[in-house]
Amino acid sequence: MSPPRHKPFRVLPGFNLTLGYTLLYLSLLVLIPLSAVFIKTATGGWDHFWLTVTSPRVLASFRLSFGMSLLAAAINSVFGLLLTWSLVRYRFPGRKIVDALIDLPFALPTAVAGIALTAIYAPKGWIGSLATAYGIRIAFTPWGVLLALIFIGLPFVVRTVQPVLEDLEVELEEAAASLGAPRWETFRRVTFPALLPALLTGFALAFARAVGEYGSVIFIAGNIPMVSEITPLMIITKLEQYDYTGATGIAAVMLLLSFILLFIINGLQVWSTRRIGRTV
């Protein structure tokens, strides 16, 4: 006769109650609001939706928002990895101050960040005046949008990669070096594969944050039609014109495109994690 099986002790309530609370919380904050966007869009009809989202001005805003968000996330992935490496692997004066400053975009109001960046990179600003002397304009151009998106997205990459790099055993790199592997080969075959899933996660977080950014971009972009208008601004413009179905239509397209891109990025992350597991 087998001994009686004891139910495992769980700190939280039972599965049914926990799952029910989770679904209720998720529905109230995510599912119902997102469903309302599509429902409101459908009330305007297909013709109105298609005319709204395919207008040249809206398409230009899509290209600017998604293009610059992807570029900003890619730049943050490269330089965020370098910054994380310096913070984790080296000790230097002011290291803790630099580490604390990385979180500044989290605490700083986005409008304040936008005003500060505009004041510095405007044609009469400290850095903008120097760039203007060489015929380079940063503020009130798409490059100003890129600059703002890099500013708000950098902490996501650093804070995602940093704990993984801290837990990575240095002995593996030392063993590869003792076997005669060059530094670049050691990084490419030993260190980078271990950091890749976290780096892709940081890329996805930085991209998702950049796509919906409004406050820090609106000041430095200049909001020139067909040039530096971001998609969130187009939604605000439709709302100010009382075109609610047009605003939700643009938001629905933005939501679908963001979901598709994040799905691809997460798929790459899962693939890289499985690939690392097979090699180990």
Report pLDDT digits (tens) over 133-143.
888 899 999 99
In degrees, rounded to 5, the angle at the alpha carbon of residue 160 between the alpha carbons of residues 258 and 120 is: 75
CATH class belonging to 45-279 = mainly alpha
User: Using a CB cutoff of 8 Å and minimum separation of 24, what contacts does 114-118 make?
Assistant: 114/148, 114/215, 114/216, 114/217, 114/218, 114/219, 114/220, 115/219, 117/144, 117/147, 117/148, 117/151, 117/216, 117/219, 117/220, 118/144, 118/219, 118/220
**Burial call 168-177: b when 16+ CB within 10 Å, e when fewer:** beeeebeebe
| pLDDT given for residue 8 in this prediction | 63
| pLDDT given for residue 150 in this prediction | 95
| pLDDT given for residue 158 in this prediction | 94
How many residues can be counted in the chain?
Answer: 280
Going from N- to C-terminal start, the domains of the chain cover: 15-44, 45-279
% of the chain exceeding 90 in pLDDT: 40
- What confidence tens digit (pLDDT) does each residue in 198-252 have? 898 899 889 989 998 998 899 898 888 888 899 999 999 999 999 999 999 999 9
The answer on pLDDT for 280 being more than 80 is: no
| Closest CA relative to residue 194, chosen from 72, 88, 75, 70 | 88
Q: What is the mean pLDDT of residues 44-58?
A: 92
